[in-house]
């Protein structure tokens, strides 16, 4: 709760006080500030009315004015206020550029490992003073909640966002089959060949639901013998021969020789990776730029991916 006594104080008054104290006379201060002497006289009078005491002694005649001890106190505080206002102005400018502030991003595992590293590196390189934070959750609903609550400014989402959000499509992430090498011949595997195959998957949320739905639609009602949140665990289970897995491409460690991956036929509808924000809310320039950069990085990623699949 802020006081009421100086509510009518304007920065202009303090700028004038400073100018007069620096220049020594009302006239020169007027010249410096582009006012007339009369205006300065009236402004100082207004300031004195506001603070309740004379801030200058006017010796009269052709002698310059001089700060009173009281005026000196006002001036010292006034200069602090002005320099705070200046730094506010500077920071607003930098903020308009995306250069300062805090950007909190919602994300989930595969984006965190495949997209964020280079994206954050680019943002940091452009704006070293921007504070970038992340909140990771495997669950789209949770990410939507964080976004709605304003706990994150933007969030990657593995699918279409809930209503009340706007989003931008970044990437189609195809589902691929993960199996032991030799379990299937090289090349695409038909969904019908998976009927009855024990499967490893993630807990039933977000893209896992999408993928199970697609499989059923394609005529394969999968049986899950193991579910884990952790993609590494899923891969390990597949390596051990416990079953096969269908995962979005971005979840894979494609260099692992102990695993083979196959395209599926028919192709399942891919997981769509988007970045979302609250509808109607003004985004910070940093967030706007982040979205642009994310789009660029994902385009690059899409090109790399199409070389693999």
Q: Which residues bind its own copies (CB under 8 A)?
A: 2-3, 5-12, 15, 18, 51-54, 57, 59, 66, 68-70, 73-74, 77-78, 80-89, 91-92, 95-96, 100-101, 150, 153, 280-284, 286-287
Under the binding rule (CB under 7 A), the answer on residue 284 touching DNA is no
β-pairing, 264-265 with 189-190?
A: parallel
Nearest approach in angstroms of CB 110 to DNA is 33
The one of its own copies, DNA, none whose footprint includes residue 61, by CB under 5 to 8 A per kind, is: DNA
The one of DNA, its own copies, none whose footprint includes residue 35, by CB under 5 to 8 A per kind, is: DNA
Shorter beta-carbon distance to its own copies: residue 52 or 187: 52
Residues ≥6 apart with Cβ < 8 Å to 242? 198, 200, 225, 226
Shorter beta-carbon distance to DNA: residue 44 or 177: 44
13 within 8 A of 75, measured Cβ to Cβ? no
Under the binding rule (CB under 7 A), the answer on residue 283 touching DNA is no
276 within 8 A of 157, measured Cβ to Cβ? yes
By C-alpha distance, which of 266, 298, 140, 259 is closest to 208?
Answer: 140
Nearest approach in angstroms of CB 129 to its own copies is 13
The one of DNA, its own copies, none whose footprint includes residue 36, by CB under 5 to 8 A per kind, is: DNA
Under the binding rule (CB under 7 A), the answer on residue 35 touching DNA is yes
Residues 36-65 that bind DNA (CB under 7 A): 36-39, 41-46, 58-65
Q: Which stretch binds DNA (CB under 7 A): 33-41, 70-78, 135-143, 216-224?
A: 33-41
| Neighbour-count burial for 186-202, b at 16+ CB within 10 Å, e otherwise | eeebebeebeebebbbb
d(CA 192, CA 219): 7
The one of DNA, its own copies, none whose footprint includes residue 89, by CB under 5 to 8 A per kind, is: its own copies
- State the residue for tokens 């506001």: 50
d(CA 17, CA 14): 5
d(CA 191, CA 213): 13
Question: Which residues sit at the interface with DNA, rule CB under 7 A?
Answer: 10, 12, 24-27, 34-39, 41-46, 58-65
């Amino acid at each position: 709760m802020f006081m009421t006594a100086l509510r009518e104080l304007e920065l202009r008054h303090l700028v004038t006080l400073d100018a007069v104290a620096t220049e020594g006379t009302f006239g020169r201060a007027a010249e410096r500030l582009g006012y007339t002497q009369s205006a300065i006289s009236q402004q100082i009078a207004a300031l004195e009315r506001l603070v309740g005491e004379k801030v200058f002694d006017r010796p009269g005649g052709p002698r310059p004015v001089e700060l009173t001890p009281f005026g000196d106190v006002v001036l010292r505080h006034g200069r602090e206020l002005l320099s705070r206002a200046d730094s506010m102005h500077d920071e607003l400018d930098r903020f308009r550029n995306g250069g300062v502030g805090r950007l909190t991003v919602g994300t989930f595992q595969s984006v965190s490992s495949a997209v964020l590293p280079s994206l954050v590196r680019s943002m940091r390189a452009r704006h070293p003073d921007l504070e970038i934070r992340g909140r990771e959750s495997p669950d789209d609903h949770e990410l939507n909640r964080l976004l709605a609550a304003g706990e994150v400014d933007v969030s990657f989402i593995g699918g279409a966002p809930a209503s009340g959000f706007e989003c931008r499509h970044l990437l189609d992430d195809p589902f691929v089959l993960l199996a032991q090498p030799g379990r299937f011949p090289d090349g695409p595997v038909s969904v019908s060949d998976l009927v009855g195959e024990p499967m490893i998957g993630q807990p039933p949320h977000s893209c896992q639901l999408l993928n199970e739905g697609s499989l059923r639609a394609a005529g394969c009602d999968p049986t899950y013998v193991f579910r884990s949140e952790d993609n590494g665990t899923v891969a390990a289970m597949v390596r051990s021969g416990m079953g096969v897995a269908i995962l979005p491409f971005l979840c894979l460690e494609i260099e692992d020789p102990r695993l083979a991956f196959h395209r599926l036929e028919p192709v399942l509808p891919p997981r769509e990776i988007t970045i979302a924000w609250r509808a109607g809310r003004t985004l910070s320039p940093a967030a706007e730029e982040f979205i642009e950069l994310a789009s660029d990085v994902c385009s690059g990623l899409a090109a790399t991916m199409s070389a693999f699949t």
